[in-house]
Amino acid sequence: MFTFLHAADIHLDSPLKGLEVYPDAPLEQLRGAVRRAFDNLVELALEERVAFVLLSGDLYDGDWKDYNTGLYLINRLGRLREAGIPVFVVAGNHDAASQITRSLTLPDNCLLFSHKAPETYRLDDLGVAIHGQSFFSRTVDVDLTRAYPQGDSALFNIGLLHTSLTGRPGHDVYAPCNLDGLRSRNYQYWALGHVHKRELLHRDPWILYPGNLQGRHIGETGAKGCALVTVDESRVTDVEFRDLDVLRWARCAVAVDGCDREESLLEAVHRDLEQERRKADGRPLALRLVLQGTTALHGRLHERAGHWQQEIRALAAGLGDVWLEKVLFETRREGPAVEAFDDDSPFAALQELIDSYPFPSSRLCDLVPAFEPLRSRLPAELISDGNPFQPDDEVLETLRREVREMLSARLQKGGRNAH
């Protein structure tokens, strides 16, 4: 019997995005989060005395800014070398041979698979064969597994692969393949990488994504870590996901139906913030808070959105390590959508224009020609995965709704004051 760790998508020294614009953000925790999560991986390997570690691509986040990234990695791999733990790595799209221009000699316990063709490493004392191939360029649009060798029936066979399979939401298609193709290789375990969400795709053979080690923005919520795999008599007997992240991202939807007083709404927010904090198991928590439901406070929320955001930030600050990435107001008013204006009023016409205007994302750069030159000069770490210069349809619909509700609240307040 032996155990091994399967991790992927480390993205060493990748910044965490979404909190840096706030003066109270935990900047030191943000800057070092990915490294500390990798430290946790090394510690887990040592504590469990695993036979080996598998890293299924995107060890780096692209070309290094300097050699500190490589020096850090060599130091941590050296700790595993001292314990006699080998590490097997395939390069993914972010650390493909065409992407990394700097290089340092890795410790001899770290084995990087060739990008030219599949290779096989045997661990004869364990009866294990590990098959894999690194990416040769950032974009790989062919099925690499077609060249992988058939599994040796006398060994426990592992396939190490960076792939999106037939496609995954939010991920570009790389090294496309399907489950039938993987199963046809007659391996007992497929250690996949590229998809940042944990996903068990098949048992016997076991095919899974462990997800990334550390969530880096609000699109990567929930627990992050690796898989601890137990093998006995050439069979996988247990797969256990272990949490290694040091800062947790979450989305929190607060139901405010029936809240007709500011105090009751803030109580509902505080209650749900407490629940999310407990789920983080003592980790700092970065939250996107969404207020949803029908409430008499709808108009006041949208009319004074800035004030309410600060009120909610104050609640979060009072809980300790809870940080708000964003606060969204998706509430509905009680009664008719528009109460103070007739169908032929200027406001009704303005609202109809907001609702009907197609506003394709490509028009943003047309409206303000300076956008694209500005974007090209921004450091990569300041641009989140959602491109602010070319937002998708969901982002634009949210913007329409926020503009509509803000105008409605302010214009109706002006109408009441006039009376």
Q: Are residues 306 and 355 in the same domain?
A: yes
User: With 70 as the cut, is the pLDDT of residue 224 above it?
Assistant: yes
Query: Is the peptide bond between 86 and the residue preceding it cis, with omega within 30 degrees of 0?
Result: no
* pLDDT digits 0-9 by tens, 343-369: 666 666 666 665 665 555 444 445 445
Q: Residue 247 and residue 224: Cα distance in Å, rounded?
A: 9
Q: Kindly state the tokens that stand for 398.
A: 């949210």
> In terms of residue numbers, what domain contains 322?
248-418
Looking at 243, 264, 296, the residue that finishes a domain is 243
* pLDDT digits 0-9 by tens, 55-71: 999 999 888 888 999 99
User: With 80 as the cut, is the pLDDT of residue 201 above it?
Assistant: yes
Looking at 210, 225, 243, the residue that finishes a domain is 243
CB 33 within 8 A of CB 247: yes
Q: Kindly state the tokens that stand for 217.
A: 């923005």
Q: Are residues 220 and 316 in the same domain?
A: no
Q: Are residues 273 and 129 in the same domain?
A: no
The tally of domains found in the chain comes to 2
Q: Kindly state the tokens that stand for 236.
A: 């996988």
**Among residues of the chain, what percentage have pLDDT more than 90?**
59
Q: Are residues 195 and 283 in the same domain?
A: no
Helix (H) or strand (E) holding 309: helix 305-317
Q: Are residues 147 and 223 in the same domain?
A: yes
Least confident of 18-27, 76-85, 258-267: 18-27
CATH number at residue 82: 3.60.21.10
Looking at 195, 227, 243, the residue that finishes a domain is 243
Q: Are residues 24 and 165 in the same domain?
A: yes
Q: Are residues 224 and 315 in the same domain?
A: no
CB 104 within 8 A of CB 67: yes
CB 12 within 8 A of CB 72: yes
